[in-house]
Amino acid sequence: MAAPLRGHLAKRDKASDLKTLNFALTLEHLESEFYAQGLHKFDADAFKHAHLDGKIRDRFVHIGAHESTHVTVLTSIIESMGGTPVPKCTYKFPLDNVETFAAVARALENTGVSAYLGAAAGITSKDLLTAAASIATVEGRQSSFLNEIFGEEGAPYAFDTPLNAREVVTLAINFIESCPFDLGVAPFKQLTASIKGDKVETSYKDEVVDRQTWCQFLYNNKVVVSVREECKLPETVDGYVYVVITDTSKPITLKDEDSILAGPALLFRGDH
């Protein structure tokens, strides 16, 4: 009886790994297409007019090439495992100007780090985990560069923040118009959030009036909770921070989903 059991577990683990890899491929498709569209629209002169020299654009080209390579490698791994790689979606990127392009790039790369960290726990193969980690570290290097473009610390914290699949999709869905496949993950409600001094103003569609809710800030391997009426930005935030709205004051974990009412939204302390 032992051998069939091992076989059953192996099939289950393989299916789980393929699901995780295709989720990663979905995000890499998005990033790769973002850089392809943005760099096609904004040439060296456009960067110059935005007071960013040619070397900065070259770095964006380099990052775009990395994302394209990630797509190729993940596709190859999925196919080698007998799986079917997900295709590209149709996207809706805000490409009004170079500044917006750079801001979205910063958001995508920081989110990419969080996505790979959150997905790591679901990968059963050590080889695949190593491969995913090697991509995550590159995403981290890229996000550091993009953070510094905005005058911020490249690596503001000792620890990065993992997000679960629903949290990642909630952020990514802002750039997806349609997909030829089911994402398999339902996003939380979209949260609109902005920093106003030492507080964060938040709102989301169809929220219940007179309901006690909380802002939860996720950063640097910690969760800081603030009553929604105050939604006070923690003093130790020094860069990116995710904010979610919950119906509980208990700090959420990666596995907590029922208590999340909206978000996350990604904010940067230097943005006002």
Neighbours of 115 (CB within 10 A): 27
Q: Where are the domains of the chain?
A: 2-178, 191-268
Measured distance CA(254)–CA(121) in Å, rounded: 10
Q: What pLDDT, in 10s, does the model give residues 145-203?
A: 999 999 999 999 999 999 999 999 999 999 999 999 999 999 999 999 999 999 999 99
What H or E segment, with its residue span, contains residue 214?
strand 214-219
Structure tokens at 217: 């800030």
Q: Measured in whole angstroms, how far is the alpha carbon of residue 175 from the centre of its chain?
A: 12
Distance of CA 256 to the CA centre of its chain: 18
**pLDDT tens across 201-240, in order?**
999 999 988 899 999 999 999 999 999 999 999 999 999 9
Cis peptide, bond prior to residue 264, ω within 30 of zero: yes
Average pLDDT over residues 97-107: 96
Instruction: Return the exposure string of 202-227: e unless at least 16 CB atoms fall within 10 Å of the residue's CB, then b.
Output: bebeeeeeeeebbbbbbbbeebbebe
Alpha helices, DSSP H only, in the chain? 2-41, 44-49, 54-80, 98-120, 126-149, 165-172
Q: Per DSSP, what are the bridge partners of residue 265?
A: 243
**CATH code matching the domain that covers 2-178, chosen among 3.30.300.100, 1.10.540.10, 3.30.360.10, 1.20.1260.10:** 1.20.1260.10
What's the pLDDT score for residue 183? 92
- Terminal alpha carbon distance of the chain: 62
Higher-confidence residue: 122 or 101?
A: 101
CA–CA dist 10, 82 (Å, integer): 14
Average pLDDT over every residue of 125-141? 89
Question: Would you state the structure tokens that stand for residue 230, as one six-digit string?
Answer: 């105050």
DSSP for 15-31 reads: HHHHHHHHHHHHHHHHH
What's the DSSP call for residue 186? P
Position 10 scores a pLDDT of 53
Structure tokens at 186: 């339902």
The structure tokens listed for 100 are 């917006």
Nearest to 34 by CA among 64, 78, 65: 64
pLDDT in tens, 187-209: 999 999 999 999 999 999 999 88
- Mean pLDDT value across the chain: 92
pLDDT of residue 121: 79
Residue-wise pLDDT tens digits, 256-268 = 899 999 999 999 9
pLDDT of residue 12: 57
- Please, what is the Cα angle at 25 between 21 and 30, to 5 degrees? 155
For residue range 66-96, list pLDDT tens digits in order: 999 999 999 999 999 999 999 999 999 999 9
